[in-house]
Structure 1
Amino acid sequence: MIRKKRGTITAVTNVRTLKQIRALMIVNGFNSNVGFLRKLVLAAAMSMVGTAATTAVTQYALKMFAEIPQPDTFMWNTFIRGSCQSPDPVHAVALYAQMDQRSVKPDNFTFPFILKACTKLFWVNTGSAVHGRVLRLGFASNVVVRNSLLVFHAKCGDLKVATEIFDDSDKGDVVAWSALIAGYAQRGDLSAAQIMFDEMPERDLVAWNVMITGYAKHGEMDRARKLFDKAPVRDVVSWNTVISGYVFRGLNQEALELFDEMGEVGECPDEVTMLSLLSACADLGDLESGQKVHDKIMGMSKGKFSTLLGNALVDMYAKCGNIAEAIRVFWLIRDKDVVSWNTVIGGLAFHGHAEESLGLFREMQRTKVCPDEITFIGVLAACSHAGNVDEGNRYFHLMRSKYKIEPNIRHCGCVVDMLGRAGLLKEAFYFIASMKIEPNAIVWRSLLGACKVHGDVELAKRANEQLLRMRRDHSGDYVLLSNTYASQGEWDGAEKVRKLMDDNGVTKNRGSSFV
Structure 2
Amino acid sequence: MPQRNVVSYNTMITCYSRDGFLQEALELFLEMRRCGFKPTQFTFGGLLSCRLLDALEGMQLHALIEKTGLFYLDAFAGTALLGMYGKNGCLDEALGIFEYMPNKNMVTWNSMISVLSEMGYFEDCIFTLSEMIASRVGISEYTVVSVLTCLEEVNMQLGEQVHGLVIKYGFDNVASVHNCLINMYAKCVTTSSAEKMFESAPVKDIVSWNTLIGAMANSDRPIRALDFFLKMCRTGLSPNERTFANVLTACSRLQLLSYGECIHANLIKKRYESDVYSGTVLVNFYAKCDKLQEARVCFDCITQKNLVSWNSLMLGYSSMGSSSISVTLLREMIQSGYHPNELSFSIVIKSSLKTELLQLHSLTIKKGYQENSYVSSSLISSYARNGLVSEALTFVGSAQTKSCVVSSNIIAWIYNRTGQYGKTQEFYADMENPDAVSWNILIAACSRNGYYKETFELFDHMRTSPICPDNYTYVSLFSVCTKLCNLALGSSLHSHILKTNYELRDTFVCNTMIDMYGKCGSIESSIKIFYETREKNIISWTALISTLGLHGHANEALERFGEMVETGIEPDKVAFSSVLSACRHGGLVKQGMNLYREMKVKYGVEPDIDHYVVVVDLLTRYGHIKEAEQLILGMPIAPNALIWRCFLDGSLCPENGNTGTWGKRVNINRIGVHFKYAI
Give distance in 2, aligned partners of 1:416 and 1:71: 52
Shift of 1:187: 2.0
Matches within 5 A, 1:386-397: 392=588, 394-395=590-591
Please say if residues 42 and 78 of structure 1, whose CA atoms lie closer than 8 Å, have aligned partners that are also in contact: no
CA distance in 2, matches of 1:108, 1:305: 35
What's the counterpart of residue 342 of structure 1? 545
How far the C-alpha of 1:195 sits from its partner, in A, is: 1.5
1:155 alignment partner in structure 2 = 350
Q: Structure 1, residues 250-304: CA drift from partner, whole Å, max 9, x if none?
A: 5544444433333232433444433333222111112222112322443477389
Aligned equivalent of 2:228, options 17, 27, 47: 17
> Counterpart in 1 of 2:512?
312
Q: Return the TM-score normalized by structure 2.
A: 0.51
Alignment CA distance shift 1:394-1:265 (3 Å): same
Alignment of 1:19-168 (within 5 A): 19-21=230-232, 26=237, 40=243, 43-44=246-247, 46-47=249-250, 51-52=253-254, 54-55=256-257, 58-69=260-271, 75=277, 79=281, 83=285, 86=288, 88=290, 90=292, 93-99=296-302, 102=303, 104=304, 106-107=305-306, 110-121=309-320, 122-125=322-325, 127-137=327-337, 139-140=338-339, 145-157=340-352, 158-168=356-366
Higher-Rg structure is 2
1:360 is aligned to 556
Deviation per CA, 1:322-341, whole angstroms, max 9, x where unpaired? 34534544555565864144
Contact 1:48 1:86 in 2 (8 A): no
Deviations 1:61-118 (A, max 9, x none): 544444454689773587378649955584664443212xx3x2x4455554454444
Match of 1:412 among 606, 609, 616: 616
Deviations 1:110-156 (A, max 9, x none): 5544544443343533543443443552x53xxxx342343245334
Q: Is the 8 A contact 1:416 1:446 kept in 2?
A: yes
Any idea what SS the aligned residue of 2:342 has? helix
Q: Do structure 1's residue 201 and structure 2's residue 402 form an aligned pair?
A: yes
Rounded to whole Å, the distance in 2 between the matches of 1:53 and 1:394 is: 29
1:178 paired to 2:377: yes
- Structure 1 partner of 2:199: none
Corresponding residue of 1:499 = none
Residue 168 of structure 2 corresponds to which residue in structure 1? Answer: none
Q: What SS does structure 2 have at the residue aligned with 1:288?
A: helix
Letter of the aligned partner of 1:4 in structure 2? Answer: N
Residue 298 of structure 1 aligns with an amino acid whose one-letter code is: L
Deviation of residue 191 (structure 1)? 1.2
**Distance (whole Å) between structure 1 residues aligned to residue 598 and residue 310 of structure 2:** 46
Q: Deviations over 1:412-457 (max 9, x none)?
A: 335544x5xxxxxxx6877876763665235545777x66x99x99
What is the one-letter code of the residue matched to 1:119? S
Q: Per-residue CA shift, 1:331-355, capped at 9, x if unaligned?
A: 5556586414422322312xxxxxx
Encode CA deviations 1:223-276: one digit per residue, 9 max, x unaligned: 334334444554444444444444445554444443333323243344443333
- SS in structure 2 opposite 1:17? helix
Pair 56,303 (structure 1): closer, same or farther in 2 beyond 3 Å: farther
Number of aligned residue pairs: give it.
430
Q: Which residue identity does 2:516 align to in structure 1? A: M
Once the 2 structures are TM-superposed, how far is the Cα of residue 403 of structure 1 from its aligned partner?
Answer: 7.6
Paired with 2:275 and 2:589, the residues of 1 have a C-alpha distance of: 60
Contact map agreement 1:346 1:379 (CA 8 A) in 2: yes
Measure, in 2, the Cα distance between the counterparts of 1:83 and 1:209.
31
SS in 2 for 1:408: helix
Query: Where does 1:163-312 land on structure 2 (aligned, <5 Å)?
Result: 163-168=361-366, 169=368, 172-199=371-398, 200-202=401-403, 204=405, 207-299=407-499, 302=502, 305=505, 309-312=509-512
AA in 1 matched with 2:467 = E
1:375 maps to amino acid: V
Amino acid at match of 2:281: F
TM-score (norm 1): 0.64
Contact 2:279 2:298 in 1 (8 A): no
State how far apart, in whole Å, the 2-side matches of 1:88 and 1:261 are. 41
Q: How much does 1:38 deviate?
A: 6.8
Relative to 1, partners in 2 of residues 1:300 and 1:160: Cα closer, same or farther, differing over 3 Å?
same
Residue 379 of structure 1 corresponds to 583
| SS of residue matched to 1:219 | coil
Tell me if structure 1 keeps the 8 A contact 2:383–2:391.
yes
Question: Matched residues, percent identical?
Answer: 14
Specify the code of the residue in structure 2 equivalent to 1:155: K
CA distance in 1, matches of 2:599, 2:342: 47
Classify 1:322/1:19 alpha carbon distance in 2 versus 1 (closer, same or farther; 3 Å): closer
- Structure 2: how far apart are the matches of 1:208 and 1:305? 28
With over 3 angstroms needed to count, the CA separation of the structure-2 counterparts of 1:134 and 1:223, relative to structure 1, is: same
> Is the alpha carbon distance of 1:75 and 1:190 closer, same or farther for their aligned partners in structure 2, counting shifts above 3 Å?
same
SS at structure 2 position matched to 1:268:
coil
Inter-partner Cα distance in structure 2 for 1:231 and 1:223: 13
* 1:440 pairs with one of 635, 644, 668: 644
Whole-angstrom CA distance in 2 between matches of 1:192 and 1:447:
52
The answer on whether the counterparts of 1:314 and 1:330 sit within 8 Å (CA) in structure 2 is yes
Task: Report the CA distance shift for 1:120/1:5 in structure 2 as closer, same or farther (over 3 A).
Answer: farther
Preserved CA contact (<8 Å) 1:380 1:414? yes
Distance change in 2, residues 1:227/1:112 (3 Å): farther
| Cα 1:226–1:399 shift into 2, 3 Å | same
Amino acid at match of 2:418: H
Give the CA deviation at 1:395: 4.6
SS of 1:216's equivalent? helix
* Displacement after TM superposition at 1:194 (Å): 1.0
Distance in 1 (CA, whole Å) between partners of 2:455 and 2:579 is 30
Q: Provide the rounded CA distance (Å) in 1 between the counterparts of 2:561 and 2:350.
A: 42
Give secondary structure in 2 for the equivalent of 1:321: coil
Equivalent positions of 1:467-506 (< 5 A) are none
Following the alignment from structure 1 to structure 2, what is the Cα–Cα distance between the partners of residues 457 and 84?
A: 53
Q: Distance in 2 between matches of 1:60 and 1:428?
A: 43
CA contact (8 A) 2:549 2:557 kept: no
| Between 157-166 and 300-309, the greater mean CA deviation after superposition | 300-309
Q: Within 1, Cα distance between the matches of 2:364 and 2:675?
A: 54
Distance in 2 (alpha carbons) for counterparts of 1:428 and 1:114 = 46
- Give the Cα–Cα distance (whole angstroms) in 2 for the partners of residues 336 and 69 of structure 1: 31
Contact 2:280 2:308 in 1 (8 A): no
Report the Cα distance in structure 2 between the residues aligned to 1:136 and 1:331, rounded to whole angstroms.
49
Alpha-carbon distance, 1:472 to partner: 6.2
SS of alignment partner, residue 402 of structure 2: coil
Aligned residue runs from structure 1 range 446-457, under 5 A: none
Contact kept, 8 Å, 2:549 with 2:583, in 1: the verdict is yes
